Amino acid sequence: MTGTRFFGADEWKAAGVAAFLAFVVFRATLAPTVTLEHSGALVVAADHLGVGRVPGYPVWTLLAKGFICLFPGAQYHGHPNPAWAVNWMSAFFGAVACGLLAALACRLARAAVPSSGALGAVSGIAAGLLFAISPTTWSQAVVAETHTLTNFCFLAVLALALRWVETADRRSPY
């Protein structure tokens, strides 16, 4: 393994800018309580550590319970509102996924054109923000759904796979 870091300063800056801007947009349009689709079942499952629907989403449920515990005072019209905390979790993981996509795009631009510099950072931020404002991503990042965590995990695996491909030692992906 080489001593250089996989993501450089430009990639981290692009990721931070894209994640921050995406989170601002998601937070501004966040659903205040339970919405349509499977939101109600997922919020109840997270609040009581149950199974909302098949296959159960155990990691998502535990993370959502953590966010509910992180925001115990969330209320809607004077009533406890765990849905707000779970919706906030979706916005958080959606924003982090957008930031990770920006970092990956910036990294790939640097790999393709080593002197890309600021142009690579701008392309990474653009990629992250375009992903954030796409109708599918945006609609799932403001309600209690599992898709933003899935997007984040997929992009994290993609980053790890890219790191593994670029290393000189290809014995094991770990």
Mean local confidence (pLDDT), 18-34: 91
Looking at residue 71, what is its pLDDT? 77
DSSP 52-116: -STT--HHHHHHHHHHHHH-TT-EETTEE-HHHHHHHHHHHHHHHHHHHHHHHHHHHHHHH-TT-
Q: Give Cα separations from 15 to 8, 148, 153 (angstroms).
A: 11, 16, 16
Contact 142, 84 (CB under 8 A): no
Peptide bond into 82 cis (omega under 30): no
Q: Which residue has the higher pLDDT, 26 or 170?
A: 26
Give the model confidence (pLDDT) of 116-129 as tens digits: 678 888 999 999 99
* pLDDT band, residue 18 (cuts 50/70/90): very high
Mode of pairing for the β-strands spanning 75-76 and 79-80: antiparallel
Supply the DSSP symbol for 37: T
Q: How far apart are CA 84 and CA 90, in angstroms?
A: 10
Q: How far apart are CA 10 and CA 83, in angstroms?
A: 36
Mean local confidence (pLDDT), 119-143: 91
Structure tokens belonging to residue 148:
């933003």
* pLDDT band, residue 1 (cuts 50/70/90): very low
Structure tokens belonging to residue 43:
């919020």
Give the model confidence (pLDDT) of 65-114 as tens digits: 898 888 777 666 566 688 888 999 999 999 999 999 999 999 888 877 77
